[in-house]
């Protein structure tokens, strides 16, 4: 039985909330969600809350009628409810305050319109949008002009993100093609290794047979030599010098043959050692290729999870990937990422924001000066450094800073998205403990 009356989705005519701004500014009280201009609520809900958040509120309040509704209908209905001071709006307001408490506290320091506008501009420049947007719209001194300016900038950012998602999809297809190519190369290497192993086994068998044959012949020649030695003693007593000379020539020929066969045995041993070295090298090559395939597969999987989360959040609000990334809760932590590749930064930022954190970035001294690095490090609760894509000076500076402030320092083995997500899971587990 439903515990909340369902109102079909009908968008109300644009309204201006009662003049709470002057009262809030005078009293120093932040706006409630339902006190914000209704024309801004669609942008606010879509930017600061995920569909999973709305579905969880729906289940918590037992709104059974929305279980079969489309994602668009759920979004629109919650926008309508956000304008009404009821249980849904209160749950939404509570969730927004808890998730973006860091941004709310930072914006609370602004006591004038100019200070508030400057804080908003800084957040936009840093790519930090959802938390500052909520903090701005609920700030007691925010004017209609400033709120409409922020609304316009967020609206344009949504178009930019749509274009970026299409680019991500194209890049994902390219990575998948690269993964398939690497898999083909690995299969070819494995086939070649099997063929070489068969050849080496055949050569080893032939070599062993040759060795046995040479050993048998050598033992036979030793018997002949002993017999000849006895004959030589006997022939020494013979009167005919011609017979003695002939027998000596035969004995010399047998000795040359024995030495030649001994040299052949040494050559076969050297060839076998060379083949064993080649086998070891091929095994190392195959192992390295398998490692490359695993890294590419992990990167593809991480890209697919992030792309699915950004394009189509799951209907039940719980991620369906094997890693269970929704278990990560950063609780408003400010994550500073130093170094890395510029092409991956939007994905890393989206992951941190999805898990309730704030993402700050510095390129690690590649293009930006170190003076800005110290300022960004001072704002972070945890610092991530990909050791394969950062200057040595920037990495050591970040490590010293974390030691001095007793904040978390997370070195990553690479600048890939999968390594970053693994680091976030470790950090979130530490926060929970």
Query: What is residue 162's predicted lDDT score, i.e. its pLDDT?
Result: 57
Query: What is residue 139's predicted lDDT score, i.e. its pLDDT?
Result: 95
3-state secondary structure of 412: strand
Is 320 among the domain residues?
no
Based on the fold, state whether residues 201 and 276 are members of the same structural domain: yes
Going from the C-alpha of 185 to that of each of 182, 277, 286, the distances in angstroms are 5, 22, 10
Are 141 and 116 in contact by the 8 Å Cβ rule? The answer is yes
Query: What is residue 320's predicted lDDT score, i.e. its pLDDT?
Result: 46
Going from the C-alpha of 337 to that of each of 56, 296, 310, 389, 391, the distances in angstroms are 31, 22, 21, 11, 13
Based on the fold, state whether residues 277 and 376 are members of the same structural domain: no
Q: CA-CA distance, 125 to 102, in Å (whole number)?
A: 17
Query: What is residue 214's predicted lDDT score, i.e. its pLDDT?
Result: 80
Query: What is residue 115's predicted lDDT score, i.e. its pLDDT?
Result: 93
Is 3 among the domain residues?
no
Query: What is residue 369's predicted lDDT score, i.e. its pLDDT?
Result: 64
Q: Which domain holds residue 297?
A: 175-311
Query: Of 311, 345, 374, which marks where a domain is finished?
Result: 311
Is 101 among the domain residues?
yes
Is 316 among the domain residues?
no
Query: What is residue 186's predicted lDDT score, i.e. its pLDDT?
Result: 85
Is 371 among the domain residues?
yes
pTM to 2 decimals?
Answer: 0.38
Going from the C-alpha of 19 to that of each of 16, 134, 139, 152, the distances in angstroms are 8, 19, 14, 22
Query: What is residue 149's predicted lDDT score, i.e. its pLDDT?
Result: 94
Residues in the chain predicted with pLDDT less than 50, given as ranges, are 1-2, 6, 8, 11-17, 21-22, 165, 169, 172, 311-312, 315, 317-322
């Amino acid at each position: 039985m439903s515990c909340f009356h369902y109102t079909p989705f009908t968008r109300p005519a644009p309204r201006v909330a009662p003049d709470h701004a002057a009262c809030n500014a005078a009293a120093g009280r932040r706006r409630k969600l339902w006190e914000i201009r209704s024309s801004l609520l669609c942008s606010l809900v879509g930017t600061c809350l995920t569909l999973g958040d709305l579905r969880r509120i729906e289940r918590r309040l037992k709104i059974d009628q929305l279980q079969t509704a489309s994602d668009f209908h759920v979004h629109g209905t919650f926008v309508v409810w956000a304008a009404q001071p009821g249980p849904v709006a209160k749950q939404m307001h509570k969730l927004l305050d808890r998730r973006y408490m860091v941004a709310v506290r930072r914006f609370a320091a602004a006591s004038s319109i100019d200070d508030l506008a400057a804080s908003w501009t800084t957040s936009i420049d840093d790519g930090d949008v959802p938390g500052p947007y909520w903090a701005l719209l609920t700030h007691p001194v925010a004017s209609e002009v400033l709120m409409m300016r922020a609304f316009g900038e967020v609206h344009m950012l949504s178009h930019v993100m749509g274009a970026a998602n299409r680019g991500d999809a194209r890049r994902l297809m390219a990575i998948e093609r690269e993964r398939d190519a690497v898999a083909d190369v690995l299969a070819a290497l494995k086939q070649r290794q099997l063929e070489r192993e068969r050849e080496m086994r055949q050569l080893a068998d032939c070599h062993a047979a040759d060795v046995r044959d040479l050993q048998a012949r050598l033992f036979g020649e030793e018997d002949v030599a002993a017999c000849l030695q006895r004959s030589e003693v006997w022939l020494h007593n013979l009167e005919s010098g011609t017979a003695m000379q002939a027998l000596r020539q035969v004995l010399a020929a047998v000795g040359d043959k024995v030495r030649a066969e001994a040299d052949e045995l040494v050559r076969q041993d050297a060839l076998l050692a060379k083949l064993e070295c080649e086998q070891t090298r091929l095994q190392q090559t195959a192992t390295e290729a398998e490692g490359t395939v695993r890294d590419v597969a992990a990167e593809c999987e991480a890209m697919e999870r992030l792309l699915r989360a950004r394009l189509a959040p799951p209907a039940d609000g719980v991620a369906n990937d094997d890693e269970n990334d929704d278990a990560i809760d950063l609780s408003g932590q400010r994550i500073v990422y130093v170094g890395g590749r510029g092409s991956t930064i939007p994905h890393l930022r989206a992951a941190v924001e999805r898990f309730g954190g704030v993402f700050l970035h510095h390129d690690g001294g590649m293009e930006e000066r170190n003076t800005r690095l110290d300022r960004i490090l001072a704002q972070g609760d945890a610092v991530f450094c990909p050791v394969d894509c950062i200057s040595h000076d920037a990495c050591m500076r970040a490590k010293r800073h974390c030691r001095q402030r007793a904040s978390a320092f997370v070195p990553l083995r690479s600048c890939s998205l999968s390594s970053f997500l693994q680091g976030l899971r470790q950090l979130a587990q530490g926060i929970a403990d």
